[in-house]
Structure 1
């Protein structure tokens, strides 16, 4: 989807994917460092970036939608945290080196070449010991009505992610059905892949 399409999706007053953080992200709270920089990738209306900021991390929410990021800032103000927002297209964004203690990639579905570029950027941008927390839909999601791309080429498999993140230590790779309750955008049974990885210290 283009930035204009995402702006249209986020134009309403309500939050398309809700204001609560992703359940897989929350489940990893005990692993998070007490200080450091975090990146919420393609963070839309900011639910995950705001939560990371609430954990004490200096958090950047990156997205191509100006409308989404404006709502992310509004949510951050409501929650009493500081959130840095960056409007950028992942096709053009220059990844920093060894910067982030945590990167959250939650339902970021990209075509093949951009996916490989982005995942290589994630690997470089994690600082030594940094964590990647990723959730994405698998091809089995095509049989579900709970959101996600309708294009098989945009859905991820365990083998694909293992290849993309071969340079990281994979701590957990889980797949199966979960019950999604993330605003009107993700609601109902979903087929997901959950990955937790760490850059070697």
Structure 2
């Protein structure tokens, strides 16, 4: 079974797996956002982050490989009275438009190392000069915790991986540690994450 089918089945089961509210770290970065910015929400699942960005006045492309997730994202956007463009695609294989976005939100997108590197290269290419990349992902310290995250260690992130994949971007913030998650049924409780706010040189 391909992973996209597994996620289709997960998202098909009613309710929102990670809630309808945006990721808290993304929400904290609201002062960095401005209406009219072009945003790409990668691995956006059921659309909670993309829809929130659209509600802040951003022009949002929401991408996920689950068609079921993207359909729910479109429904959530309609319910909130905002517009997003949904794209059903593999983040590692998508044709990222050069300088097409002012913000890339990489929230809990965990891919095998080769796919992760391909998606990261695409995300950097897609950032316009001065564009921001915001990331929150689980670290190896998350293993054994019940608050979410992939079971395969190679899918986990670290500060070092961020520095390696996004070395050409300016670090505005890069932190590793414990946060408290309250994001739908699948992300609950103390969690070990890496958070990054990076900027493409102008």
TM over 0.5, yes or no?
A: yes
Alpha-carbon distance in 1 for matches of 2:153, 2:199: 28
Q: Which residue of 2 aligns with 1:94?
A: 95
1:15-26 paired onto structure 2 within 5 Å: 15-26=16-27
Check whether the contact 2:137–2:194 (CA below 8 A) recurs between aligned residues. Answer: yes
Alpha-carbon distance in 1 for matches of 2:144, 2:190: 10
Q: Deviations over 1:69-116 (max 9, x none)?
A: 111011101111001100011232111101101110000011111111
1:116 aligns with 2:110: no
Check whether the contact 2:99–2:128 (CA below 8 A) recurs between aligned residues. Answer: yes
3-state SS of the aligned residue for 2:119? Answer: helix
Q: Which residue of 2 aligns with 1:38?
A: 39
Q: Which residue of 1 aligns with 2:148?
A: 147
3-state SS of the aligned residue for 1:129? Answer: strand
3-state SS of the aligned residue for 2:137? Answer: strand
Alpha-carbon distance in 2 for matches of 1:91, 1:177: 28
Q: Which residue of 2 aligns with 1:51?
A: 52
Question: Which 5+ residue runs of structure 1 have no aligned equivalent?
Answer: none
Alpha-carbon distance in 2 for matches of 1:15, 1:106: 16
Question: Which 5+ residue runs of structure 2 have no aligned equivalent?
Answer: none
Which stretches of structure 1, 4 residues or longer, exceed 2 Å deviation after superposition? Answer: none
Q: TM-score, normalised by structure 1?
A: 0.98
Check whether the contact 2:93–2:119 (CA below 8 A) recurs between aligned residues. Answer: no
3-state SS of the aligned residue for 2:143? Answer: helix
Give the deviation of 1:143 after TM superposition: 2.5
The CA RMSD over aligned residues, in Å, is 0.9
Check whether the contact 1:33–1:101 (CA below 8 A) recurs between aligned residues. Answer: no
Alpha-carbon distance in 2 for matches of 1:91, 1:101: 20
Q: Which residue of 1 aligns with 2:28?
A: 27
Give the deviation of 1:36 after TM superposition: 2.1
Check whether the contact 2:139–2:156 (CA below 8 A) recurs between aligned residues. Answer: yes
